Chain A
Amino acid sequence: MERIHERYYLSYPRALIKEPILYHLVKKFDLIFNIRGASVSEEMGLVAVEFEGTRDQIERAIVWLRSSGVTVEPIEKNVIE
């Protein structure tokens, strides 16, 4: 399987800030990730991250993140104008 790199912003609502989300992500989906930036404020946490894995691994990981309450966006955010 071809391995690809994809870059995302993950934003966590306040309730999830203390959860070890990225730890679960690695355990469950065997992804390599590389954090490029992070900020946590009172209302939410924001992490810029690059995933490395197969297309299938990354897609399943994103579905799981979203079902856990994390917002996942490509770093370009909305390109449809």
Chain B
Amino acid sequence: MSYITNLKCKECGQEYPVAPLHVCETCFGPLEVGYDYAKIRAAISREKIESRPRNLWRYRELLPVDGEAEAGPHSGFTPLVHCKRLGAELGMKHLYVKDDTVNHPTLSYKDRVVSVAITKAREFGFTTVSCASTGNLATAVAAHAARAGLKCFIFMPEGVEAGKIVGSTIYGAQVITIRGNYDDVNRLCSEIADKYGWAFVNINLRPYYTEGAKTFGFEVAEQLGWKLPDHIVVPTAGGTILPKVAKAFKELKEVGLVKGPEFKIYSAQAAGSAPVIHALHKGVDLITPVKPDTIAKSIAIGNPADGYYVLRAVRESGGWGDSATDPEIIEAIKLLARTEGIFAEPAGGTTLAVALKLIKQGRIKPDETTVVSITGNGYKTLEAVAGAIERPFVIDARLGEFDALFERLGDGKRAAASA
């Protein structure tokens, strides 16, 4: 049973049938899925959701699919970690990390959006799925396509690291690298989507794909005991996740699953790729594209497709945003790892580094419930921090050598006294 009513242009409001379309024919504005919220309100309850399997499909009434999930039976419902040690360092009592480093099966938030896109691709009758990606999206599409038995083509710009290619090819995807710059790759992919009739998850399936990002927000609210946080900090790359988390929170109110105070939402970008933050700080609507230069590759998008909607969601909520430099990002990755045992990719370091700034600026207060969104796993980007990590000590296999080293490290006396 589906609760989708139509696709609707976010700019001019023109309505379209539920089909693999992504832009308005009249004004080229992006299309958004519409739902019958009155019907959903009558069909859904906290108890019903809580009785379902712990995956992202427990919110299926608010997702744009008609039938059963065809992908992602173990995706989503990642931990919301109450960060007591990190919180103590920062003087924050109710600091949480929403931890998509452990999303199934490819360790990033992309497992959410791709689960929904692949399910929709099956419903529309597509047999081939595709995307253009340099990282997490490619891996997620390749893995979910494999399990769903769909053919998969992945496009990457030439010169991408060998590891990225392995991460998709291993699942049986056909990887094609394209000579040319990012603009050329973008244009070619749009043309292929048109001509070959494939399901490009973030082109012709984009309205459905992006809806999957709402589940990040639904889970945060449910895991806080059906409450919205006071603050949530979200990374911004193409601009998919932030507006959808805001939409998720609003929908939960709309269908009666949560009540209570408003949330504020904050955008985090790497300083080397911060077009949305520039516009936010300048107070303008137009986002001027930049050439990305940052270690946070998974969020290095210089010309975000949905950047404008990020600005709008941030401003509407009364939130704010900031950027973090590469050294700040690395420090934040290390801080999260040593206090909470969570190893985030640079996108997550960016989010935490920005959260630290917002706390310092007094925008986030010590007793307010704050969620930091960690969207991907550090094991995939070891090279980003490898140079910033202490080297191991090397000793011969003799106890005396270790005793001497331990003494030198300064903990020797304490250890001996307590023995």
A residues neighboring B (CB under 8 Å): 7, 9, 11, 36-37, 41, 43-44, 46, 48, 71, 73-81
Contacts and interface: CB of A to CB of B under 8 A. Distances in A.
Contacts of B23: 7, 75-76
B286 A46 contact: yes
A63 to B, nearest CB: 12
B329 interface: no
B304 A77 contact: yes
B286 A78 contact: no
B284 A76 contact: no
A80 B303 CA distance: 10
A78 B131 CA distance: 12
A80 B133 contact: yes
A11 B286 contact: yes
B305 interface: yes
A11 B286 CA distance: 10
Interface residues of B, number: 38
B185 interface: yes
11 contacts: A37-B29, A43-B284, A44-B286, A73-B183, A76-B203, A77-B186, A77-B303, A78-B302, A79-B190, A79-B200, A81-B134
Nearest to B240: A81
B189 interface: yes
B27 interface: yes
Given A81-B131, A81-B237, A76 B27 contact: no
B137 A76 contact: no
Interface in B120-139: 131-137
Contacts of B203: 76, 79
A58 to B, nearest CB: 10
Given A77-B304, A78-B301, A79-B186, 13 more contacts: A41-B284, A73-B303, A74-B183, A74-B186, A75-B28, A76-B190, A78-B303, A79-B131, A80-B133, A80-B301, A81-B131, A81-B135, A81-B136
Given A43-B286, A80-B133, A81-B133, A37 B28 contact: yes
Contact of A78 (B182, B284, B285): B182
A11 B307 CA distance: 15
Nearest to A76: B190
Determine the main DSSP class of B at the interface with A. loop
Nearest to A59: B187
Interface of B: 11, 22-23, 26-29, 110, 131-137, 157, 182-183, 185-187, 189-190, 200, 202-203, 237-238, 240, 284-286, 289, 301-305
B28 A7 contact: yes
Contacts of B132: 79-81
Contacts of A71: 289
Contacts of B286: 11, 41, 43-44, 46
B27 A78 contact: no
> 5 smallest A-B Cβ distances: which pairs?
A77-B305, A81-B137, A48-B28, A37-B27, A80-B132
Nearest to A41: B286
Contacts of A75: 23, 28
A74 B190 contact: yes
B183 to A, nearest CB: 8
Contact of A48 (B27, B110, B136, B289): B27
Contacts of B304: 77-78
A41 B301 contact: no
Contacts of A80: 132-134, 157, 182, 185-186, 189, 301
B103 to A, nearest CB: 15
